[in-house]
């Protein structure tokens, strides 16, 4: 069906309607990629998708990939076996720390006027921060009232109160924030039977790929929850990455990167042992670690019986990665050195700026941005092919053709969240006589990485970091029992 659209406002209204019936919370519906023929003005603006909430312009070649509708009727062996029903008695709400709250914690003792002056000197808008803080808490209040009206008991916690005990109390977990808050919420849910549902409380400033309504404002929350409670949805079981690490003593010591946001030390010292922050020194509540204890088992390795065996610990990390795992040197200016093996094949040495291993959920994030092509790059390649192969008919000056080719390439980078495979992406691979070319990206069922790093870390979902230096080895895989239960609308 074609819809005749004569101006940008009609485009935006069409997009708003499409959002309301979207089948996938982490991506926008197909209607967001408006065909050229539906816009009367065939000028430059028609090559851009216009966000219905803030009118930001995004090249169609990126929007069509990032906001494509994924088929929720795809074969989900677990989800299709049960009739959707969501009738929890107790819900835990994990709230994000707003930027306003963050600044108040960093500048303890400052009143609002003093804080406004500090932010002004940095070029930040205090009133905007305060306004978004109020929007977030208004969203929170609405969510709590809607749950209360539905006869559901709820508890509100923030990240340092998000304990395993709190998670065990609840029948379901709601995250109130953006994708980062959703990732934090999922990190403590180890069972596939407890749903995690994201509510994007900052539609203007956060993408909310994994959130239920994505970029819809607060007034749409009541309708969305009614659909949820009536069973008008489908379960989506997102794959997560289980990580088993073997290495010297100390590899299981976690550094909470969310906590480090409050650390005002220079960036070059952020990885030092026993990092201290204003929160850790002054606020007892914020001394709580988000990472649960690690299960350890000791193994001995020695080829020569005369040599005292070197003890290494093998640990199954207590946090499952929903988006991705990054392995590389802590400082981005250093080259990362490691060995990688796919599906129990021979290990290969690599040097690069690090490597990411992601799920389908994470394929719209780091994986996508590492590998995506821009229209400028595609146009340059088309010119070279036209000249080198003497093919003048290649339409390298046709902006629509360039955009379509770019879109098709970028779309293939994204895969379903329930796909039982891992995707790896090598950042800035170094190829030379010592390190011959290898595939910079691909899929595998299991990935093994051995570190040859100096100050390397293994980072899970950008939130928790583990030391991963020379000799340490990590095995990453997906298992059915590790999937995360989430919701998508029909």
d(C-alpha 446, C-alpha 402), whole Å: 36
Are 367 and 462 found together in one domain? yes
Print pLDDT tens along the chain (490 aa): 444 444 444 444 444 444 433 333 333 333 333 333 333 333 444 455 555 544 456 677 777 677 664 443 344 444 444 578 999 999 999 999 999 999 998 898 899 999 999 999 999 999 999 999 999 999 999 999 999 999 999 999 998 899 999 999 999 999 999 999 999 999 899 899 999 999 999 888 888 888 988 888 899 999 999 999 999 999 999 999 999 999 876 666 778 776 555 555 544 444 444 443 434 444 434 444 455 555 555 444 444 445 555 567 888 998 999 999 999 999 888 999 999 999 989 999 999 999 999 999 999 999 999 999 999 999 999 999 999 999 999 999 999 999 999 999 999 999 999 999 999 999 999 998 888 888 999 999 999 999 999 899 999 999 899 999 999 999 999 999 999 999 998 7
Q: Is residue 282 in a domain? A: yes
Choosing from 208, 230, 252, the residue where a domain stops is 230
Q: Is residue 267 in a domain? A: yes
Q: Is residue 2 in a domain? A: no
Are 283 and 418 found together in one domain? yes
Q: Is residue 41 in a domain? A: yes
Tell me the two tokens of residue 235.
């379960």
Pairing of strands 172-177, 196-200: parallel
Are 215 and 334 found together in one domain? no
pLDDT at 295: 54
Are 204 and 266 found together in one domain? no
Are 107 and 207 found together in one domain? yes
Are 309 and 431 found together in one domain? yes
d(C-alpha 252, C-alpha 288), whole Å: 17
Are 107 and 41 found together in one domain? no
Q: Is residue 62 in a domain? A: yes
Q: Is residue 235 in a domain? A: no
Q: Reduced to 3 states, what is the DSSP secondary structure of residue 426?
A: strand
Are 458 and 345 found together in one domain? yes
d(C-alpha 340, C-alpha 347), whole Å: 5
Phi, psi of 67 (to 5 degrees): -115, 20
Q: Reduced to 3 states, what is the DSSP secondary structure of residue 300?
A: strand
Are 148 and 225 found together in one domain? yes
pLDDT at 260: 55
SS3 content of the chain, % helix, strand, coil (to 5): 35, 25, 40
Q: Is residue 105 in a domain? A: yes
- Residue 92 near residue 154 (C-beta atoms within 8 A): yes
CATH number at residue 307: 2.60.200.30
Which residues, other chains included, contact 19 with Cβ-Cβ below 8 Å and sequence gap of 6+? 28, 29, 52, 213, 214, 215, 216
Q: How far, in Å, are 101, 141, 162 from residue 184 at the CA level?
A: 18, 21, 9
Are 212 and 343 found together in one domain? no
Q: Reduced to 3 states, what is the DSSP secondary structure of residue 425?
A: strand
Residue 42 is given by DSSP the state -
- Number of domains within the chain: 3
Q: Is residue 294 in a domain? A: yes
pLDDT at 255: 81
Pairing of strands 233-238, 484-489: antiparallel
Are 377 and 352 found together in one domain? yes
User: Nearest to residue 175, comparing CAs of 289, 96, 257?
Assistant: 96
Are 135 and 223 found together in one domain? yes
Q: Say how many Å lie between the first and final Cα of the chain, rounded.
A: 20
DSSP 453-486: -SSEEEEETTTEEEE--TT-EEEEEE-GGG-EEE
CATH number at residue 124: 3.40.50.10330
pLDDT at 160: 83
- Write down the pTM of the prediction: 0.78
pLDDT at 257: 74
pLDDT at 293: 53
**Domain region containing 293:** 241-483
Buried/exposed 299-319: b ≥16 CB within 10 Å, e otherwise: eeeeeeeeeeeeebbbbebbb
Enumerate the β-bridge partners of residue 425: 356, 441
């Amino acid at each position: 069906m074609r819809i005749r659209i004569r101006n940008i406002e009609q485009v935006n209204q069409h997009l708003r309607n499409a959002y309301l019936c979207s089948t996938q919370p982490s991506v926008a519906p197909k209607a967001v990629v408006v065909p050229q023929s539906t816009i009367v003005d065939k000028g430059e603006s028609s090559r851009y998708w216009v966000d219905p909430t803030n009118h930001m312009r995004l090249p169609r070649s990126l929007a069509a990939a990032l906001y494509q509708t994924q088929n929720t009727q795809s074969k989900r062996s677990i989800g299709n076996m049960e009739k959707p029903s969501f009738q929890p008695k107790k819900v835990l709400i994990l709230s994000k720390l707003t930027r306003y709250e963050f600044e108040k914690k960093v500048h303890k003792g400052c009143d609002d006027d003093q804080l406004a002056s500090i932010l002004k000197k940095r070029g930040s808008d205090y009133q905007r921060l305060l306004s978004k803080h109020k929007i977030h808490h208004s969203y929170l209040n609405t969510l709590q009232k809607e749950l209360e009206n539905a006869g559901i008991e709820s508890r509100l916690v923030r990240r340092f109160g998000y304990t395993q005990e709190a998670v065990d109390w609840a029948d379901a977990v709601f995250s109130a924030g953006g994708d980062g808050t959703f990732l934090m919420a999922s990190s403590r849910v180890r069972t596939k039977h407890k749903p995690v549902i994201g509510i994007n409380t900052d539609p203007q400033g956060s993408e909310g790929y994994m959130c239920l309504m994505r970029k819809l404002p607060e007034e749409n929350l009541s309708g969305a929850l009614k659909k949820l409670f009536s069973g008008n949805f489908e379960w989506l079981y997102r794959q997560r990455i289980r990580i088993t690490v073997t290495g010297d003593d100390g590899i299981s010591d976690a550094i909470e990167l969310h906590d480090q946001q409050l650390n005002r030390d220079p960036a070059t010292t952020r990885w030092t042992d026993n990092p201290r922050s204003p929160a850790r020194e002054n606020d007892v509540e914020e001394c709580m670690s988000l990472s649960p204890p690690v299960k350890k088992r000791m193994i001995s390795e020695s080829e020569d019986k005369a040599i005292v065996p070197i003890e290494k610990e093998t640990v199954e990390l207590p946090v499952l990665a929903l988006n991705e795992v990054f392995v590389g040197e802590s400082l981005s200016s250093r080259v990362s050195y490691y060995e990688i093996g796919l599906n129990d094949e021979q290990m290969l040495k690599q040097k690069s700026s690090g490597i990411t291993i992601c799920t389908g959920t994470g394929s719209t994030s780091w994986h996508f941005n590492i590998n995506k092509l821009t229209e400028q790059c595609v146009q340059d390649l088309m010119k070279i092919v036209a000249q080198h192969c003497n093919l003048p008919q290649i339409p390298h000056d046709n902006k629509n053709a360039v955009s379509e080719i770019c879109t098709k390439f970028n779309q293939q980078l994204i895969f379903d969240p329930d796909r039982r495979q891992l995707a790896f992406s090598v950042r800035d691979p170094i190829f030379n006589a010592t390190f011959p070319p290898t595939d910079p990206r691909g899929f595998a069922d299991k990935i093994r990485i051995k570190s040859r790093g100096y100050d390397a870390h293994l980072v899970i979902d950008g939130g928790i970091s583990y030391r991963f230096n020379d000799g340490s080895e990590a095995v990453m895989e997906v298992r059915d029992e590790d999937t995360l239960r989430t919701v998508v609308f029909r």
